[in-house]
Amino acid sequence: MMLNTRSAELCGEDVSEILSYLPEIEGLDVVELGAGIGRFTRYLAQRARHVLAVDFVEKFIEKNKEANGSFENIDYIVDDVMNVQIPPTSAGFVFTNWLFMYFNDTAARRLLERIITWLPDNGHIFLRESCIHGSGDISLNNSTTYYRHPNDYETLFLSVTEPTDDKQAVYGFKVIATRPVETYRKVMKNGNQITWLLQKVRRDVDTP
């Protein structure tokens, strides 16, 4: 969003649209990875029992705290998302926005392998990523960003598994919904802002 000259025009409508794609999170403990300055944090906190907002940029977290200091159900962590320790099955919902495009395939897979352990059976993760090319109209120099094809993301999601406790099956991610962000399609003529809602499900080892 910061790399767009039309960010003021996009922001409110973009946030509203993204929030409309989320499952019911009332009463859940939410982990927000890459929380930034808090564009989504307050809205998650309005719905969830608790929100853990994580970002590795301290000044972003400070702005997040300033914006959302009235909420008593938000905790903040300044750290790399790869280092965050979440107890198994304790995160009812994981929310990310423009996060995995900053990780290569190996790191992205490693993070997904951690997230699937955080979620309970049938828990959800939401992702929004810039695919094919960037989201904005300002050039980002000297940045390592991975503008994957949506199919590559789905291949990545479906490849991640976790053995069940009884070793008789595995947990994996099921794609519940995927759609482009209509705000970007309308304002920026960009249909490559893609969202996914994934669910942790138990499946037989041979089930694709």
Third-level CATH fold of 7-203: Rossmann fold (3.40.50)
Quote the mean pLDDT of the chain: 92
| Domain range summary for the chain, segments of one domain joined by + | 7-203
193 pLDDT higher than 60: yes
Q: At 143, is the pLDDT very low, low, confident or very high (cuts 50, 70, 90)? A: low
pTM: 0.92
Contacts of 41-49 spanning 24+ positions with Cβ under 8 A = 41/67, 41/68, 41/74, 42/67, 42/68, 42/71, 43/15, 43/19, 44/95, 45/71, 45/73, 45/74, 48/73, 48/92, 48/93, 49/73, 49/92
Q: What is the mean pLDDT of residues 134-153?
A: 77
The tokens for 144 are 């390592």
Q: Where residue 142 falls among pLDDT bands split at 50, 70, 90? A: low
Q: What is the reported pLDDT for 1?
A: 46
